[in-house]
Chain A
Amino acid sequence: MIDLTVNGNRMVFDGDDEMPLLWYLREDAKLHGTKFGCGIGQCGACTVHVDGQAFRSCVIPMRGLKGAQITTIEGLVKMDELHAVQKAWIEEDVAQCGYCQAGQIMATVDLLKKYPNPTDQEIDENHTNLCRCGTYDRIRKAIHRAADLMKAGN
């Protein structure tokens, strides 16, 4: 029996504890914003926050998540207000197909905690999620814009 918190809601899981968190979120918790891209932690489409840090949920087995606080893309909105990173993503018109973008956003929220004012080089070295549509130029602009929005108190 594993108890965990997902987007502020207490949850209990008693299934196969080898199952990665991704499938718990998508199928049990019915939170389909977190995406399956590779299953081996290489692409980042499944990025969520575990205890405040970005992780690739496709390679985290449920058994390690006792008492964990999980935040998914659905939990990023607070009191109907988009997170600054989400706002920046809309303002820079980042998405093409959009499939990887929840993961990109979750990775960026974490990146901006560590680098509140990131340089291009810091983004290059720390943001590793794959976007098959190639929206990286706009992702980079959106990361800078989100940093500005957060400094301005958004």
Chain B
Amino acid sequence: MVISKSISRRHALKVFGGTGALIVCVPMGSLFAQGKGQNAEDLFGGKLGPFVQINPDNTITIGAPIPDMGTGVSTSLPMIVANELDADWNGVNIETLPPSQYLNEKGEPILNYVLQSTGGSWSVAKAWQPLRECGALARHLILCAAAKALSVSIKGLATKNSHVIIKSNGNKYPYSQFLEAAKKIKVPGLGRKIYRGDNVVNRIVLPTAAEGGPTIKAKGEGDIIGRGKGLKAAHDIVTGKMEFGIDKRIENQLYAQIERCPHYFGDVKSFDALDALKIKGVVDVIQVPNLDEEGTSKFNSPGVAVLAESFWAAKKGRDALKIVWNKGPNTQETNAWHEQELRNAIPRKTTRTLDEKGDINAAFTAAAKTFEEEYEVPFWAHFCMEPINCAVWVKEDEVIAKLSHQFPERIAKDFSQKVDIPFDNFTVDIGRVGGGYGRKGKIDFVSEAFFLSQKTGRAVKVHWTREDEVRHGFINSSALYRIKAGVDKEGKLVAWDALASRKGTAWLEGFPETIVPHSRLRRSYPQIKAPTGAWRGPGHNTTGFVLECMIDEIAIGLGLDPLDFRLEILGEDKSYPYTGWTAVPVENKVISSSRMKGVLRLAAEKAGWGHKLPKGYGRGIASCFTFGSYAAIVVDVSVDEDGKLNVHKVTGAADCGLVINPLGAKAQMEGGCMDGLSAVLYQDIQFKEGRITTGNFNDIPLVRIDECPKKFDFHFVDSDEIPSGLGEIALPPFIPALMNAIYDATGKRIRKLPLGNQLKT
């Protein structure tokens, strides 16, 4: 591993200088160590902090540090900076920032300023504090410069819409007027500090207001946060100008298509490329091996790559390949085998207790009533709208990578050693991400591009088809859940025994387990080899369905209203320990009955819970805690006599702390519900001989506009908590709310997904 030795002025500008500059792996921490001063010009190459550039026409360019895969973070994160800065939002331009990181003296990668990856609904939660500090710093520098230039004390000045205002006479001056002086303002106490959490980030440390540093706004201050703002990228999107990863190209790139072994853990036995090489435009045919020999879990699918001058030539070449596959050791795997294996795994010795409290056996013996049910979910694929792609050029001492990816920092981190090219010599150009859902956090397709570029010495764009994406995914685990619940003679939930038989993590923590006096969580380990990975709301996406349908079953079994029963279980306002993963900082890692009751009550009130519905209609409710945020969903449905499901209305409430952009927040709620509906109605990935046979939207069409409810109504709890995420928050409660509504309408309890023909019988 090569560590950057010299820190030059040129490098600093490469990092922070205007547009066109891409990467970025410079140890900025060293700049402070050199004691060159603490003004913006020295530290940020002319910007007022890492994310703010004020232009001569008084427009402001704000850096969006995290790739936008449809979560709106390229709008909402700059809103945080702009709010602190009192910027005129109409005059704000957004610049997508490449990953910025460096290696410390131990060779450990350190992120500059903020975490720049996206997943786990963490983007806003993790970037919130660093971004507001950077916005406040920029405003502070402007104010200091203005005070000097105007001979007015800082206290005598206000800021609004990118202007400094003299309070006494109302005179206004554009920020740009003070830019040159602001860059030279020295801020005593300004420094950097390494924060270690899930990631290692070298953040800016500001002196406090009392020490002469900037004042950070309190909730409600500023004109931008909390006001619904449309996507800044909207114009580029509707005119087709927006560059997604798939649209980015490296000059003279070859297009690669890979016919991969369809059987997971299979390989190429032999192949004949003669016909492929005859296709006009085909340049080369190269066998792609397993690119991670040391790994035990599946990495890439080995296969044969056709490299050509165009996508189409590569495709024709690929179609002309003759390959004999070694089908590998998993050819017994079919959907039926998977279902049986989930069941077989439960009595095995490998089944493990994850958590236990109270005396579960005694509690069930003493229980007045017990409920026990099984729930099953199939495999779900990602179907990212933008198929996977990656363009890489490994040159002698430089790497250029252009792609869409959820973890852009991984490119240099994962490949610097492998290709023996210094960390600093990576240029990573991240396009807008056309849907990620967890799939675009993987590195398999990047490895393919590195391998093929190294083999050919040319720039190579690996271009997946839809079928490639579905058949070589790391998809959502299927699962079998067994839930047993005991209720005492007062109707109180006293015992909870939950078991997940699932290839992936169990994710059974939270309500009601944490609150029930006697509880046990267990997990079985089915020996399924189908490759699995993160899928929107990992784990919660299916446990939400299971836990919240089970609660409904118990309520109805006891003759209680499902909302009243939930509020009763949640009991007094209290914070409980939470052992699952969250995006919010460790000190906030609790689960609050009061916040959960808050979203349930708000959603129920807005939905008109308790009001009588027309015949044939049904209403269901559910609530979930996902990665730090709380959401409750109420769904209204009807089911026709022929079993056709109509989803009429979705009402929801979320408590995600402070809401940055209500318009974007609602979009995430809408999208989460629609993703849940698509999963319930259509997702059921098919397997045969240890391979996925589902290929494209003719197999799984996913929901279209005709199945979209005609009414969405989402609300947010007015919260003083720090912001947490929303991308994955609506789906986990949507699915059970829908299933509970179906039960309410028909009396049919759906315990196995997908819905399929279950309403038709």
Check A82–B702 contact: CB distance below 8 A: no
Q: Which residues B682-706 have CB closer than 8 A to chain A?
A: 696-698, 701-706
Check A133–B710 contact: CB distance below 8 A: no
Does any Cβ of A come within 8 Å of B233's Cβ?
yes
Docked CA distance A89–B238 (Å) = 7
Q: Which residues of A contact B677 (CB under 8 A)?
A: 134
Q: Which residue of B lies closest to A75 (CB)?
A: B240
Does any Cβ of A come within 8 Å of B755's Cβ?
no
Q: Which residues B457-516 have CB closer than 8 A to chain A?
A: 465-466
Of B380-388, B416-424, B742-750, the one touching chain A: B380-388
Q: Which residues of A contact B385 (CB under 8 A)?
A: 35, 37, 43, 45, 97, 99-100, 130-133
CB distance from B312 to the nearest CB of A (A): 4
CB distance from A128 to the nearest CB of B (A): 6
Interface residue total, chain A, C-beta cutoff 8 A? 59
Q: Which residues A44-100 have CB closer than 8 A to chain B?
A: 45, 72-74, 76-77, 82, 86, 89-91, 93-100
Q: Which residue of A lies closest to B698 (CB)?
A: A42
Would A82 and B238 be within 8 Å (CB), given that A23-B310, A97-B432, A137-B670 are in contact? yes
Q: Which residues B267-313 have CB closer than 8 A to chain A?
A: 280-281, 310-313
CB distance from A149 to the nearest CB of B (A): 13
CB distance from A18 to the nearest CB of B (A): 8
CB distance from B394 to the nearest CB of A (A): 23
Check A97–B70 contact: CB distance below 8 A: yes
Check B466–A93 contact: CB distance below 8 A: no
Q: Which residue of A lies closest to B68 (CB)?
A: A97
Does any Cβ of A come within 8 Å of B673's Cβ?
yes
Q: Which residue of A lies closest to B237 (CB)?
A: A98
Does any Cβ of B come within 8 Å of A6's Cβ?
no
Does any Cβ of B come within 8 Å of A11's Cβ?
no
CB distance from A28 to the nearest CB of B (A): 8
CB distance from A60 to the nearest CB of B (A): 13
Q: Which residues of B contact A128 (CB under 8 A)?
A: 704-705
Does any Cβ of A come within 8 Å of B244's Cβ?
yes
Check A133–B705 contact: CB distance below 8 A: no
Does any Cβ of A come within 8 Å of B671's Cβ?
yes
Docked CA distance A76–B239 (Å) = 8
Scan A1-38; emit 1 where CB is below 8 A from any B CB, else 0: 00000000000000010111001001100011111111
Check A130–B670 contact: CB distance below 8 A: no
Does any Cβ of A come within 8 Å of B82's Cβ?
no
Does any Cβ of A come within 8 Å of B678's Cβ?
yes
Q: Which residues of B contact A124 (CB under 8 A)?
A: 705-706
Q: Which residues of A contact B705 (CB under 8 A)?
A: 123-124, 127-129, 136, 139-140
Secondary structure dominating the interface of B: loop
Docked CA distance A43–B664 (Å) = 24
Does any Cβ of B come within 8 Å of A135's Cβ?
yes
Would A137 and B466 be within 8 Å (CB), given that A19-B312, A96-B671 are in contact? no
Check A135–B238 contact: CB distance below 8 A: no
Check A132–B702 contact: CB distance below 8 A: yes
Check A97–B670 contact: CB distance below 8 A: no
Docked CA distance A73–B312 (Å) = 22
Which of B280, B433, B705 lies at the interface centre, i.e. has the most chain A CB atoms within 10 A of its CB?
A: B705
Scan B223-237; emit 1 where CB is below 8 A from any A CB, else 0: 000001011011101
Q: Which residues B655-694 have CB closer than 8 A to chain A?
A: 663-664, 667-668, 670-675, 677-678
Check A72–B240 contact: CB distance below 8 A: yes
Docked CA distance A23–B701 (Å) = 23
Check B697–A38 contact: CB distance below 8 A: yes
Q: Which residues of A contact B673 (CB under 8 A)?
A: 134
Check A98–B70 contact: CB distance below 8 A: yes
Check A40–B670 contact: CB distance below 8 A: no
Check A33–B696 contact: CB distance below 8 A: no
Does any Cβ of A come within 8 Å of B615's Cβ?
no
Q: Which residue of A lies closest to B676 (CB)?
A: A134
Check B238–A93 contact: CB distance below 8 A: no
Scan A117-154; emit 1 where CB is below 8 A from any B CB, else 0: 00010011101111111111111100000000000000
Does any Cβ of A come within 8 Å of B241's Cβ?
yes
Q: Which residues of A contact B42 (CB under 8 A)?
A: none
What are 22 A-to-B residue pairs whose CB atoms are below 8 Å? A19-B312, A23-B310, A33-B240, A33-B241, A35-B246, A35-B434, A40-B466, A42-B696, A42-B698, A74-B239, A90-B234, A93-B663, A97-B69, A97-B433, A97-B435, A98-B70, A98-B233, A98-B237, A98-B432, A99-B432, A132-B435, A137-B670
New A-B contacts (20) at CB < 8 Å, excluding given A16-B312, A134-B675: A19-B312, A37-B387, A40-B697, A82-B235, A86-B238, A89-B237, A93-B234, A97-B432, A97-B435, A99-B386, A125-B706, A128-B704, A128-B705, A130-B704, A132-B675, A133-B674, A134-B672, A137-B670, A138-B667, A139-B705
Closest 8 CB pairs of A and B: A33-B240, A134-B674, A97-B70, A99-B434, A73-B240, A136-B708, A124-B706, A96-B70
